């Protein structure tokens, strides 16, 4: 563990079939007005909306609603939420949905009382938040992003063709999150698979990044094995509670910062996908799936030993009879096969990308990397291999 760290996570998790019973006691900690933020209506179809409204009414709350949050929440939607917060003196933002809804809620919480342009200040210049922050609570309906237990907020500025993420400090984390795996049963298979791969990508972004022999790497390998095992079960039976609960908890662990401790981290796959998403509005996990294999093939020569370990410890490949290069390639091939099994795309063309977009995406992608510091030319090569 070569990199010093301070670890603190203030989010209270209520997990399991009775988790919603904790909503009423949590609401008692906040004032009268709640902004209810949700997506395109699935929570009304499955009855969750009615149950939450009933709890809010019984708790004596005034409810203001912001519906229709997109899978890639937009800056325009976020600003609308900020307006509602100010005009109604909102005391709590309650996000009901997947990571996109929670990301939007956190964006609203820091932007409502921002002096100046929140996009420029907080998502471009990464300034410290010096204004009032409205607390956020969450009821999770789709596992994948880990947003229920972290300070991340990814917002798409459609006008500028930018999809930017920002990790805020602990005072922006959800104060509480309610995680009932049963709420994920009605998520379509494609979205379930997308969420599974999003979780997987979070873990790999932290794993393939240097500092290669520490406790955190063993944690990541264990969570990856659990995720892969449970994903295979859920693909066959989406209502297997044990599998869906394991997936949900893997997603939370995968990005609640504990699996990044003492790691340099990479995140270039995410940076590339963000810009692919800005141009195509694709599902985040699907975009990550299309980019990951070409990216890891491109950088594996700079971190061969770790890719060998990935093949051995995550995929149980008998690497002793192979060269390092063969073992590394075998692990990446197993990753490719898993993506196919999930039913996710293996090219960004399938997501709506066109050849003329590739240079634009490459030039607008934030450059970073773990084993290899990427340039726009490197990113363009990965995009062409992904196409």
Residue 155 lies in a domain: yes
Q: What is the mean pLDDT of residues 52-81?
A: 97
- Confidence at residue 3, expressed as pLDDT on a 0 to 100 scale: 86
CA separation for the pair 255, 40 (Å, rounded): 25
Say which CATH number the domain at 159 has. Answer: 3.40.50.1970
Instruction: Say if 233 falls within a structural domain.
Output: yes
For residues 159-184, give the mean pLDDT: 96
What was the pLDDT predicted at 15? Answer: 98
- Tell me, yes or no, whether 175 and 53 share the same domain: yes
Give residue 26's pLDDT: 98
User: How many beta carbons lie within 10 A of that of residue 80, not counting itself?
Assistant: 15
Q: Are 277 and 365 contained in the same domain?
A: yes
Q: Is the pTM of this model over 0.85?
A: yes
Q: What is the mean pLDDT of residues 344-353?
A: 97
Q: Are residues 146 and 282 in the same domain?
A: no
Same domain, 279 and 305: yes
Whether 144 and 65 share a structural domain? yes
151 and 234 fall within a common domain? no
Please write the tens of the pLDDT for every residue from 279-310.
Answer: 999 999 999 999 999 999 999 999 999 999 99
Within-domain flag for 280: yes
Q: Are residues 164 and 207 in the same domain?
A: no
User: Residue range 235-258: average pLDDT?
Assistant: 97
Using 50, 70 and 90 to split pLDDT, how confident is the model at 48?
very high
Does residue 132 share a domain with residue 232?
A: no
Q: Does 199 score more than 80 pLDDT?
A: yes
The yes-or-no verdict on residue 1 having pLDDT over 80 is: no
The parent domain of residue 201 ranges over 189-386
- Look at the chain and report how many structural domains it folds into: 2
- Provide the CATH number for the domain around residue 226: 1.20.1090.10
Give all strands (DSSP E) within the chain, no chain letters.
12-15, 33-38, 62-66, 92-97, 136-140, 152-157, 162-167, 176-179
In this structure, what DSSP letter does residue 59 have? T
pLDDT of residue 217: 95
On whether both 25 and 69 belong to a single domain, the answer is yes
Say yes or no to pLDDT of 370 above 80.
yes
**What value does the mean pLDDT of the chain take?**
96
Instruction: Kindly state the average pLDDT of the residues 128-153.
Output: 97
The pLDDT of residue 18: 98
Instruction: Quote the Cα angle for 231-232-236, to 5°.
Output: 110
pLDDT tens for residues 91-119?
999 999 999 999 999 999 999 999 999 99
Q: For position 277, what pLDDT does the model report? A: 96
Same domain, 168 and 270: no
Q: How confident is the model at residue 238 (pLDDT cuts 50, 70, 90)?
A: very high
**Is 28 a member of any domain?**
yes
User: What does the pLDDT average to over 59-82?
Assistant: 96
Residue 212 has pLDDT above 80, yes or no: no
Q: Is 29 helix (H, G, I), strand (E, B) or coil?
A: coil
Provide the pLDDT confidence category of residue 40 given band limits of 50, 70 and 90. confident
User: 26 in a domain, yes or no?
Assistant: yes
Instruction: Say if residue 360 is in the same domain as residue 377.
Output: yes
| Contacts for 128 with CB less than 8 Å, ≥ 6 apart | none
Kindly state the DSSP code that residue 47 receives in the 8-state scheme: S
pLDDT at 160: 94
pLDDT of residue 210: 76
- Kindly indicate the confidence band of residue 45, based on its pLDDT and cuts at 50, 70 and 90: confident
């Amino acid at each position: 563990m070569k990199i010093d760290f301070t670890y603190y996570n203030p989010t209270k998790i209520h997990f399991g079939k009775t988790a919603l019973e904790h909503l009423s006691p949590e609401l008692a900690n906040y004032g009268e007005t709640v902004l209810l933020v949700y997506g395109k209506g699935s929570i009304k179809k499955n009855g969750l909306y009615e149950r939450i409204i009933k709890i809010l009414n019984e708790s004596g709350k005034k409810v203001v609603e912001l519906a229709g949050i997109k899978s890639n929440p937009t800056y325009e939607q976020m600003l609308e939420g900020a307006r509602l917060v100010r005009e109604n003196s909102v005391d709590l933002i309650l996000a009901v949905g997947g990571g996109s809804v929670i990301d939007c809620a956190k964006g609203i919480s820091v932007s409502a009382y921002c002096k100046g342009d929140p996009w420029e200040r907080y998502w471009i210049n990464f300034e410290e938040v010096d204004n009032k922050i409205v607390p956020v609570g969450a009821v999770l309906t789709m596992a994948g992003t880990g947003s229920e237990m972290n300070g991340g907020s990814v917002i798409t500025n459609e006008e500028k063709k930018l999809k930017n993420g920002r990790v805020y400090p602990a005072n922006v984390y959800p104060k509480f999150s309610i995680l009932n795996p049963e709420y994920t049963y009605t998520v379509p298979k494609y979205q379930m698979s997308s969420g599974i791969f999003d979780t997987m990508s979070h873990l790999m972004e932290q794993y393939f990044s240097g500092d290669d022999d520490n406790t955190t790497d063993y944690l990541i390998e264990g969570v990856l094995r659990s995720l892969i095992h449970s994903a295979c079960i859920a693909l066959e039976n989406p209502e297997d509670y044990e599998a869906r609960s394991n997936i949900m908890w893997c997603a939370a662990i995968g990005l609640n910062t504990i699996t990044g401790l003492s790691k340099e981290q990479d995140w270039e796959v995410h940076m590339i996908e963000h810009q692919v998403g800005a141009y195509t509005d694709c599902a985040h996990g699907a975009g990550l799936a299309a980019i990951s294999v070409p990216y890891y093939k491109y950088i594996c020569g700079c971190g061969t030993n770790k890719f060998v370990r990935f093949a051995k410890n995550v995929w149980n490949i008998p690497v002793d009879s192979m060269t390092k290069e063969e073992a590394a390639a075998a692990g990446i091939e197993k990753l490719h096969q898993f993506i196919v099994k999930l039913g996710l795309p293996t090219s960004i063309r399938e997501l709506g990308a066109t050849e003329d977009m590739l240079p634009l995406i490459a030039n607008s992608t934030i450059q970073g990397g773990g084993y290899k510091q990427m340039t726009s030319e490197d990113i363009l090569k990965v995009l062409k291999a992904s196409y």
